[in-house]
Chain A
Amino acid sequence: MSLIFAIFLPIIIALVIPFLFKKVSNIHTGWFVLLVPLVLVFFYGTYIPTVMDGNTYIEELSWVPSLDISLVSYIDGLSLLFSLLITGIGALVVLYSIFYLDKEKEKLGNFYVYLLLFMSAMLGVVQSDHLISLYFFWELTSISSFLLIGYWYTKDRSRFGALKSMMITVFGGLMMLGGFVLLGIMGETFSIRELIDQAPILVGHEFFVWALVLVLIGAFTKSAQFPFYIWLPDAMEAPTPVSAYLHSATMVKAGLYLVARFTPIFALSEVWVWLVTGVGLLTLFWGSVFAVKQTDLKAILAFSTVSQLGLIMSLLGIGSISYHVTGTLVTTFTIATFAAIFHLMNHATFKGSLFMIAGIVDHETGTRDIRKLGGLMSLMPISFTIAMIGSFSMAGIPLFNGFLSKEMFLDATLSLQHFNVHSLESWWILFPTVAWIASVFTFVYSLYFVFHTFRGKHKPELLPKKAHEAPWGMLVSPSILAILVIVIFFVPNYFSSLFIKPAVAAIQPLAYQVPADIGFKIKAWHGFDSPALYMTLGVFLIGFILYKTIDKWAPVYERIPAKISLNRFYNGLMNLSDKGANRLSSSYMTGSIRSYLIYMFAALIILLALTMWIKNAFVMDLTNLAPIKFFEVLISLILIISTVTILVTKSRLTAIIALGAVGYTVALFYIIFKAPDLALTQLVIETVSVALFLGAFYHLPKMNKYEKGKEDRRFRLNNFLIALGVGIMVTLIAIASHSQKLVESISGYYKETVYSEAGGGNIVNVILVDYRGFDTLFEIGVLTIASLGIIGMITVQLAKKKGDRKVEDK
């Protein structure tokens, strides 16, 4: 199977899903869908042994050759790890969803199409080497996330959440596109690999910092970093399998992927280091503190995801310091990158299982409100066990993989003391402190999540359903993840050499040629002299005390004024743009044809005048003029008099006859200017037209002049000025166009060939039916349509249908 085909496999399968859902109703559609990630996970699995040794694979498919845009699938350690996560977690989530979503009640066709669309998009993001195709897939993940959050589109909250996530992530995506374009301009290539090679040159470019910031905004919005995280809690309206998949394990990690992928380019700038580290730590802190405030199980998990993403982000930031140091310090800081990838993997396992448990609790009790839950331990023992494993890992308690990566994280923040630039001096201590406080809160909300749900007093009267253990099928996926949580703790170095080291080697290509060069091992025990050990012990102690006293201090949250919340800011902004857009468009879309005509005429005047002025196009050539005869002047006078009559008359009849007079004088002009066909046609058509007007006379409104009074003087003046402008412009154009013939007229060709080629004598008629027969064909088509329209208007009684709706005269 080709790599590019593998990316598109889910989309291809998605095409047949709606039919399967319709036709095969007795088998849950999910079972068919499940095959896709299963096949893919084995497919990508076959790459592990070679990628472990530092090999990379590349496959290219030209997409828009004229713009040099191609789909490039590039497999190295980093993209392979993500591909495996996407397909592996994807398989578990699909399996879980089979039991979570009822095949009778839910529109599974839609659901799985969106899910497969997402899978393709996400694989595309992590494997694209071309910036533009990366952007394309990136936005596709936003769109599929939008569709999945809004899956229960009848709920207001779902639609709101879907829109919010879309607004924020697409905003970030556009920023990112800007950054990509800048990168493309700087490096004259859109290939990430080539840009990495040029990184030392790029860093001095004036656009470099701009590109960096723009790309980071993209990453921060996607990975729900402060202050863009607000969409993630609202995204929890999605069905739980989606939350587990997109909003904790994969899509929100796309931002982390982006940061990791661009580290070799941007890490050369210190702005990158401080932005990534700082925003990451702030997000970690913010998310963990506010997670404790939440009462909805999934909201707790959402904030915890925000905070964990911040943790990984800050680790990536610290890891990028390795580009600024030399000697043994490179290894010291690379450990941070290593820890980032390790924690990313761990987070996918424990958070995935926790989301699934939250879904099970919701499914089996009918509520996710933690205030109503409690004492489920004896009713749902397996769920409880899994939840405990997941939470303890999240809290960083030994025997679970979270402990290992959390320890490495604390170590990494401490290592900042070795990075002495910009008079950081003693300020570095701020970073471990923030990290430590955040860890305490993480510990608190982890315990809060599991124990408030499963222990304490059971309150069956508050639950919409009678609680009982979930069916086995729903428990399979979280169980697998929970088992992984424990297995990784015991054999971390095995996983490290399989996944983490190749990924780290991809992020730090300068320091490590092959993954095997990365020497360090993951250890659970660092000895008594390790400061991280004491920090961890402190976390446990303070965390436990805080957890026990949670009811005493939790009311503090109530005192935070709601005015300064980011959500309020977002809502205000959306409201403002809504109203602003409304006001703007209603300011010029008046619904009156007159306004639109004025725009058109004004544009006509201005554009033509400008063009004439700029291009110096007005030329008056008096040499080649036809002579003026008395007769012609006479006809002109008649024409002017008839036109003036139309303008001033108050009677319909006079106006119609005057219009006819104009038509007949025009016909006279045709005769003078040697156009017999036109004259004939004009004469006949004028006759028919006058008959037409007279025929409709009976039905026509009076020739009202609504603009008579003094108050309408301005109105008339405006009209007159515009009309005068148009008149003058047309005159100028007529003169100018007559005075300069820029190209030879095609008429010569017609004159020469009309007899020899077309066998006719009347050139005008031959042009109509032969040379330009197409025009005539369409013209009679238009005529037919006009007559059918008239028949329609007259025979179909609109008035009866709509009732007698009359506009009251003001």
Chain B
Amino acid sequence: MEILMSILIGFLFMAAVYLILSRSLLRIIIGTGLLSHGTHLLLLTMGGLGGESAPVLAEGITDYADPLPQALILTAIVISFGVTAFSLVLAYRAYKVVGTDNMDLMKGNEDND
């Protein structure tokens, strides 16, 4: 399963990077969203996927899933929500002010930095 997950994560990263490198603002934002999904799964996979039970104490269970990556991911999920929201607003404000969502045109030129 870990191998399958690794490949899946690689695929998510690839798609995310491809989107981020494109010229359209919206695609970039969606790309960052995909990237954070990929990262979360990566963290989870690194810790191992073989836990018998959720990391919640219960009688008679000793094999818990690794709680540390989960805590990290939980933090990351909430933060990435904040980042997505922020970049979304940034994008559409910039779009409104500059009048284009093409990164090549937005980058400014010699006299208009």
B98 x A730 contact (CB < 8 A): no
B26 x A701 contact (CB < 8 A): yes
CB neighbours of A597 from chain B (8 A): 20-21
CA distance A764 to B76 in the complex (A): 13
A786 x B99 contact (CB < 8 A): no
A674 x B45 contact (CB < 8 A): no
CA distance A794 to B102 in the complex (A): 21
Name A703's closest neighbour in chain B (CB-CB): B26
Question: Can you list, as one digit per residue, whether each of A636-664 has a CB less than 8 Å from chain B (1) or not (0)?
Answer: 10011001101100001001100100110
Give A778-810 interface residues, CB cut-off 8 Å to B: 779, 782-783, 786-787, 789-790, 793-794, 798-799, 802, 805-807, 809-810
Interface size on A, residues (CB 8 A): 105
A643 x B95 contact (CB < 8 A): no
Asked, given contacts A751-B67, A764-B71, whether A652 binds B57 with beta carbons under 8 Å apart, the answer is no
CB neighbours of A592 from chain B (8 A): 103-104, 107
Question: Can you list, as one digit per residue, whether each of B86-113 has a CB less than 8 Å from chain A (1) or not (0)?
Answer: 1011111101111111111111100011
Among candidates A678, A763, A768, A806, residue contacting B98 with C-beta atoms closer than 8 Å: A806
B11 x A727 contact (CB < 8 A): yes
Known: A678-B73, A806-B99. 16 other contacts (CB 8 A): A590-B107, A594-B103, A624-B48, A626-B2, A633-B4, A662-B12, A669-B41, A678-B40, A692-B84, A700-B91, A701-B91, A703-B26, A727-B13, A772-B71, A786-B82, A793-B90
Give A705-719 interface residues, CB cut-off 8 Å to B: 705-707, 718-719
CA distance A321 to B47 in the complex (A): 74
CA distance A745 to B96 in the complex (A): 49
Closest 6 CB pairs of A and B: A727-B14, A731-B10, A701-B101, A734-B6, A723-B18, A763-B67
Give B9-31 interface residues, CB cut-off 8 Å to A: 9-27, 30
A761 x B105 contact (CB < 8 A): no
A693 x B88 contact (CB < 8 A): yes
Interface set of A (CB-CB < 8 Å, partner B): 590-594, 597-598, 601, 622, 624-629, 632-633, 636, 639-640, 643-644, 646-647, 652, 655-656, 659, 662-663, 666, 669-670, 673-678, 681-682, 685, 688-689, 692-693, 696, 699-707, 718-720, 722-724, 726-728, 730-731, 733-735, 737-738, 745-747, 750-751, 754-755, 761-764, 767-768, 772, 775-776, 779, 782-783, 786-787, 789-790, 793-794, 798-799, 802, 805-807, 809-810
Which of B34, B51, B83 has the most chain A CB within a 10 Å cutoff?
A: B34
B57 x A809 contact (CB < 8 A): no
Tell me how far the C-beta of A197 lies from the nearest C-beta in chain B, rounded to whole angstroms: 60
A762 x B56 contact (CB < 8 A): yes
CB neighbours of B73 from chain A (8 A): 675, 678
A750 x B13 contact (CB < 8 A): no
B24 x A705 contact (CB < 8 A): yes
CA distance A726 to B18 in the complex (A): 10
CB neighbours of A802 from chain B (8 A): 97
Name A604's closest neighbour in chain B (CB-CB): B17
Give B42-85 interface residues, CB cut-off 8 Å to A: 42, 44-57, 64-68, 70-71, 73-75, 77-79, 81-85
A734 x B45 contact (CB < 8 A): yes
Name B76's closest neighbour in chain A (CB-CB): A779
Asked, given contacts A681-B78, A738-B45, whether A594 binds B8 with beta carbons under 8 Å apart, the answer is no
B7 x A731 contact (CB < 8 A): yes
Asked, given contacts A727-B13, A783-B79, whether A810 binds B88 with beta carbons under 8 Å apart, the answer is no
Asked, given contacts A646-B30, A786-B83, whether A704 binds B13 with beta carbons under 8 Å apart, the answer is no
A591 x B86 contact (CB < 8 A): no
Tell me how far the C-beta of B85 lies from the nearest C-beta in chain A, rounded to whole angstroms: 6
Name A800's closest neighbour in chain B (CB-CB): B97
Listed by A's residue number, 28 A-B pairs whose Cβ atoms lie within 8 Å are A597-B21, A629-B1, A643-B15, A643-B34, A646-B15, A652-B26, A655-B30, A656-B30, A666-B37, A692-B88, A696-B92, A701-B92, A702-B101, A703-B26, A705-B27, A707-B22, A707-B23, A727-B11, A730-B10, A734-B42, A734-B45, A751-B55, A767-B71, A776-B75, A790-B85, A793-B93, A794-B89, A807-B112
